[in-house]
Amino acid sequence: MLIKFLLINLILFLLFIIHVINSIEQCNSKETCSSCLSLSNQCAWCTQNSTDISTRNGSFFHCDTIDNLQITCPDHLISFKSYHYVLQNDSLSNAINNTSQAVQLSPQAVHVVLRINDSEKIPIRFRQAEDYPVDLYFLMDLSHSMLDDKEKLSHLGRILATKMQSITKNFRLGFGSFVDKNVPPFVQPAPNTVERPCPTSYSGPCVKAYGYKHHMSLSENVTEFEYQVQEAPVSGNIDAPEGGLDAVMQAIVCDDVIGWRNDSRKLIVFSTDAGFHYAGDGRLAGIIEPNDGECHMTNNEYTHSDKQDYPSIGQISAKLSEKNVNIIFAVTQSQLALYQTLTELIDGAVVGELKQDSSNIVNLISQNYKKISSSVMMMVSNDLPDGLTVKFTPDCQENKRDKPECTVSVGGVLNFEVEILATKCINNGSATTFSIYTHGLNDKMRITVQTNCSCSCSKVPRQINSPKCSNHGTYECGVCTCAKGFYGRECECDTASPTVESKIERCKKPGSSDVCSGRGQCVCGRCKCETATIEPGQRIYGDYCECDDFSCPRKNDLVCSGPDHGICSCDKRCKCREDWTGDDCSCTTKTDSCLVNNTICNNQGVCECGRCKCNKDSGYLGPTCEDCPTCEHRCAATKDCVLCKIFQSGSLSKEQCDRCQYRFEIIDDARKDLNHRLCQFDDEQDQCRFFYTYHTENDQLVLRVQKTKNCRRILSVRLTIIIIVSSILAFGLFCLMIWRMLATLHDRREFAKFEQEREKAKWETDVNPLYRQATVKYQNPTYRGYKVAAALDSNH
Ligand SMILES: *[C@@H]1O[C@H](CO)[C@@H](O)[C@H](O)[C@H]1NC(C)=O
Ligand SMILES: *[C@@H]1O[C@H](CO)[C@@H](O)[C@H](O)[C@H]1NC(C)=O
Ligand SMILES: *[C@@H]1O[C@H](CO)[C@@H](O)[C@H](O)[C@H]1NC(C)=O
Ligand SMILES: *[C@@H]1O[C@H](CO)[C@@H](O)[C@H](O)[C@H]1NC(C)=O
Ligand SMILES: *[C@@H]1O[C@H](CO)[C@@H](O)[C@H](O)[C@H]1NC(C)=O
Ligand SMILES: *[C@@H]1O[C@H](CO)[C@@H](O)[C@H](O)[C@H]1NC(C)=O
Ligand SMILES: *[C@@H]1O[C@H](CO)[C@@H](O)[C@H](O)[C@H]1NC(C)=O
Ligand SMILES: *[C@@H]1O[C@H](CO)[C@@H](O)[C@H](O)[C@H]1NC(C)=O
Ligand SMILES: *[C@@H]1O[C@H](CO)[C@@H](O)[C@H](O)[C@H]1NC(C)=O
Ligand SMILES: *[C@@H]1O[C@H](CO)[C@@H](O)[C@H](O)[C@H]1NC(C)=O
Ligand SMILES: *[C@@H]1O[C@H](CO)[C@@H](O)[C@H](O)[C@H]1NC(C)=O
């Protein structure tokens, strides 16, 4: 984890270094103010003349990074940034009744001043207004096959209007129709079929083919719409494709006839069941004049149907964009693929599948309307000046035609940015205007752009053949532009005359015999220093090439601890940036890291290079001198002095006591002197405890002694040990006795129990039936003496 973090830091640091080096190298290569400033916004120009700068110790590149020049040429540098200000910023709003227009894009006008190659970002807000006016013009193929669709539409008109009015209250409908050019081979040339091209089976009204007829201008009158659709007669032609594009072109461009409103979302619904003719097809009928994209309507009928060719898809697409019209192709399934391809070529076109009898037309329109209205596509007007690029961020999503398109619902706000970049001077620095707008809507943002190409120093009249340039060049912004045949910083060199010996002397530093310090070439009395150095981005410079960027003290192999700490000046010393000091600028002058509890280094040291240097004899250690491992010793060392000086007791003799060179202060309660170390001891003579604190002040130890002792009786250490030891012994004995007693008691009880058990035992006495006496008594029938028998008996 840590390693990863360090690695990332290292990489970022390297990238930063590379970036800095690159911009230094690039800036240094520019020799005029305007080319310097247009290279990158990192470069700045120093207007001071060369002589002036060469007396300075820093580099004398006129074009350098802003950071470098802020050190070497702080009072005469030119650098500026692109900026913009808002000219008009009406707040986003809905239309109020129909007196004012809705504001959907803010701001409405800005002025941008651009530095070349320095882009400027302008934040933009877009909000879909509620009840935004919608003009929907229904353009219907009225060839005979569409008869049933026409019937259906005339019935669905009111439903369509209701549905659309639920989306926006400000809704208008119009109606027009088309068939095809009334010229062979698009229609049958036979006279009877020309007049009535419908199939013979159909007996209703049928008129001859026509290019485009406008039936009803945009209006809120739905009854009128239904009536017009109902009344429109059908017609017919031979070939499958129809002349729809003719009609679309007229419907777009004839604003007055159709009645398009300026500030409305304009929609054409193109409904057909067949393909379309496009530019070139007219040749079949011998019509070769191309479509001119103009309005040619008389008595609501297209007059140039047989004079001009069909428009091309490109023309239609361009006109739709120009007039901000969206188109919905409502086509039957068989034509879906064809019109799908067409929508891919036209901005703001969508396609929907129409049922055979148009019964789904209402849903198709409302769905596609939502699709169109929820997508916001930012466009840039055609008058975008050459050399400007405009980018929108976020891009939302890039659609097929690389247009930034975002989705937002009604009432929702979209925040994005437009970034404008000038790659060259535009219109000689005077203002030009272009606009950005949202496709399909009327909202525009006007952007006035001005490129600031001239450096302010070039406004001072240029001095042609100025004496500053040896009368051979133009002096401007601190540098000479030499006339042809001359060169050198002051145009003092002449290409015709070769280098002369005396001029070589001018390349030697006074008191030195090396030409250009051995690091450059002497050209016309001036040193041209080597550019190749060991490390990239480091330069050799100075009148005698005696200065360089790399001879200064280094830290971690970085000159002056790196460019963000300081830069190397000509005298081989580092010039440190703010907050840095030291030979190699590695020392921070900030003391934050030394601060603890608002004191620097706990008052026990000084802050050097962001680290605490603790006073040596204070005994304090640690990053903020907060630790004092040896401080207890001080207590012991000062104890006797305190006893003899303050309490007139202790073991010191009077002579020794006089040697106590501390400063004593008497205080009430040493334990409340929290900032200093506390010492406490027992006075062995009166068994009382005394307290004092110590600290150093001006290298002297200050002892602040509490005036009274704490005289609760204190046991001596020896006595305490004896008491503790004897109590441990007593306790041990006591435990032993208890254990012995318990054991005896227990034994007794066990023995008694045993005895009792034994008492209880009863012994059964019987004769063993198997037992036979070893003697058998027989009566000797002959024996009469009883005594002998009895004696025998008793022997058993
Ligand atoms: C703009 O910058 C690019 C690279 O950053 C550079 O190549 C180009 O020359 C610059 N344009 C001008 C006019 O200096
Ligand atoms: C440079 O400018 C200083 C004053 O800023 C002036 O005294 C000196 O003559 C100028 N040198 C040249 C060569 O123009
Ligand atoms: C340039 O350096 C010298 C010493 O090397 C010093 O006396 C002088 O003030 C410096 N000049 C500037 C403009 O820093
Ligand atoms: C425009 O005005 C709106 C408030 O009406 C404000 O929030 C917005 O920041 C303004 N935009 C600019 C670019 O000033
Ligand atoms: C807008 O019209 C409504 C009625 O339709 C009315 O009450 C309201 O005052 C009008 N607002 C303005 C600003 O005219
Ligand atoms: C809108 O303006 C027209 C005339 O331009 C007017 O006939 C209509 O009544 C107005 N509608 C509202 C809602 O104010
Ligand atoms: C709508 O059109 C019908 C038929 O054309 C007409 O009778 C009616 O007056 C119109 N309504 C309005 C409000 O214009
Ligand atoms: C519509 O725009 C045209 C020119 O773009 C202008 O002449 C006309 O007055 C505008 N109409 C309305 C009602 O704003
Ligand atoms: C640009 O403007 C300057 C004066 O501002 C003028 O001298 C120069 O001729 C102009 N250049 C062009 C191409 O118009
Ligand atoms: C163009 O830049 C210069 C600085 O070189 C500045 O003084 C001037 O005001 C800028 N012009 C504009 C129109 O911002
Ligand atoms: C700051 O002082 C408080 C009491 O004054 C102490 O508790 C704390 O430890 C001290 N902090 C440091 C870092 O010394």
Q: Which domains are delineated in the chain?
A: 29-79 (3.30.1680), 83-129+380-452 (2.60.40.1510), 134-359 (3.40.50.410), 634-711 (4.10.1240.30)
Distance 261 CA to ligand 7 centre (A): 20
Q: Is 57 in the pocket of ligand 3 (CB under 6 A)?
A: yes
Residue 23 pLDDT > 60: no
In angstroms and rounded to an integer, the radius of gyration of the C-alpha atoms of the chain is 55
pLDDT band at residue 400 using 50, 70 and 90 as cut-offs = very low
User: What are the structure tokens assigned to 395, written together?
Assistant: 């891009």
Lowest mean pLDDT among 4-18, 113-127, 608-622, 637-651: 4-18
Ligand nearest to the CA of 39: 1
CA–CA distance, 509 with 545 (Å, rounded to integer): 9
Other beta carbons within 10 Å of 680: 15
Determine which residue's CA is closest to atom 3 belonging to ligand 1.
39
Q: Let me know: does 335 contact 314? Beta carbons within 8 Å.
A: no
Mutation test residue for ligand 2: of 46, 48, 49, the one with most atoms within 8 Å of CB: 49
pLDDT band at residue 56 using 50, 70 and 90 as cut-offs = very low
Residue 616 pLDDT > 80: no
Higher pLDDT, 14 or 460: 460
pLDDT band at residue 21 using 50, 70 and 90 as cut-offs = low
Higher pLDDT, 134 or 525: 134
Q: Let me know: does 124 contact 103? Beta carbons within 8 Å.
A: no
Residue 448 pLDDT > 90: yes
Cα four-point dihedral sign 190, 193, 194, 198: negative
CA–CA distance, 384 with 391 (Å, rounded to integer): 12
What is the overall mean pLDDT for the chain? 81
For 723-759, b where at least 16 C-beta lie within 10 A, e where not — what string? eeeeeeeeeeeeeeeeeeeeeeeeeeeeeeeeeeeee
Lowest mean pLDDT among 31-45, 204-218, 481-495, 571-585: 481-495
pTM above 0.85, yes or no: no
Q: Is 113 in the pocket of ligand 10 (CB under 6 A)?
A: yes
The pLDDT score that the predictor gives to residue 337 is: 93
Mutation test residue for ligand 10: of 34, 85, 452, the one with most atoms within 8 Å of CB: 452
Cα four-point dihedral sign 260, 261, 262, 266: negative
Distance 219 CA to ligand 2 centre (A): 78
The pLDDT score that the predictor gives to residue 111 is: 94
State how beta strands 134-141 and 171-178 pair: parallel
Report, as an integer, the average pLDDT of 257-281: 89
The pLDDT score that the predictor gives to residue 672 is: 84
- Comparing CA positions, the residue from 663, 658, 709 lying closest to residue 684 is 709
Higher pLDDT, 217 or 683: 217
Residue 57 pLDDT > 50: no
Report, as an integer, the average pLDDT of 246-258: 92
CA–CA distance, 215 with 522 (Å, rounded to integer): 89
Q: Is 99 in the pocket of ligand 6 (CB under 6 A)?
A: no
Which H helix or E strand runs over 215? strand 212-219
Determine which residue's CA is closest to atom 11 belonging to ligand 1.
39
Most confidently modeled of 47-56, 335-344, 586-595, 675-684?
335-344
CA–CA distance, 32 with 25 (Å, rounded to integer): 15
User: What are the structure tokens assigned to 194, written together?
Assistant: 């020309």
State how beta strands 63-65 and 43-46 pair: antiparallel
Which residues is 46 bridged to in the sheet? 77
Determine which residue's CA is closest to atom 5 belonging to ligand 3.
571
Most confidently modeled of 445-454, 597-606, 612-621?
445-454
Residue 536 pLDDT > 80: no
Owner of token pair 């907060």 = 626
pLDDT band at residue 499 using 50, 70 and 90 as cut-offs = low
Distance 512 CA to ligand 9 centre (A): 50
Lowest mean pLDDT among 325-339, 353-367, 434-448, 501-515: 501-515
Which residues is 427 bridged to in the sheet? none
pLDDT band at residue 253 using 50, 70 and 90 as cut-offs = very high
Q: Is 794 in the pocket of ligand 11 (CB under 6 A)?
A: no
pLDDT band at residue 777 using 50, 70 and 90 as cut-offs = low
CA–CA distance, 40 with 476 (Å, rounded to integer): 21
User: What are the structure tokens assigned to 309, written together?
Assistant: 């060719």
Peptide bond into 197 cis (omega under 30): no
The pLDDT score that the predictor gives to residue 433 is: 92
- Comparing CA positions, the residue from 328, 344, 327, 287 lying closest to residue 310 is 287
CA–CA distance, 572 with 553 (Å, rounded to integer): 8
Q: Let me know: does 477 contact 33? Beta carbons within 8 Å.
A: yes
Higher pLDDT, 643 or 716: 643
Atom of ligand 11 lying closest to residue 626 CA: 14
Distance 551 CA to ligand 2 centre (A): 30
Phi/psi for 452 (5° steps) reads -95, 95
Owner of token pair 């002297």 = 700
Q: Is 106 in the pocket of ligand 4 (CB under 6 A)?
A: yes
pLDDT tens-digit series, residues 61-115: 778 888 777 777 777 788 888 899 999 988 888 877 666 778 888 899 999 999 8
What torsion, rounded to 10 degrees, do the Cα atoms 303, 309, 311, 315 define? -110
Q: Is 221 in the pocket of ligand 7 (CB under 6 A)?
A: yes
Q: Is 224 in the pocket of ligand 7 (CB under 6 A)?
A: yes
The pLDDT score that the predictor gives to residue 214 is: 93
Ligand nearest to the CA of 492: 2
Measured at the CA of 194, the angle between CA 333 and CA 176, to 5 degrees, comes to: 50
What torsion, rounded to 10 degrees, do the Cα atoms 357, 363, 364, 366 define? 140
Q: Is 116 in the pocket of ligand 10 (CB under 6 A)?
A: no
Other beta carbons within 10 Å of 585: 27
Owner of token pair 């619902």 = 409
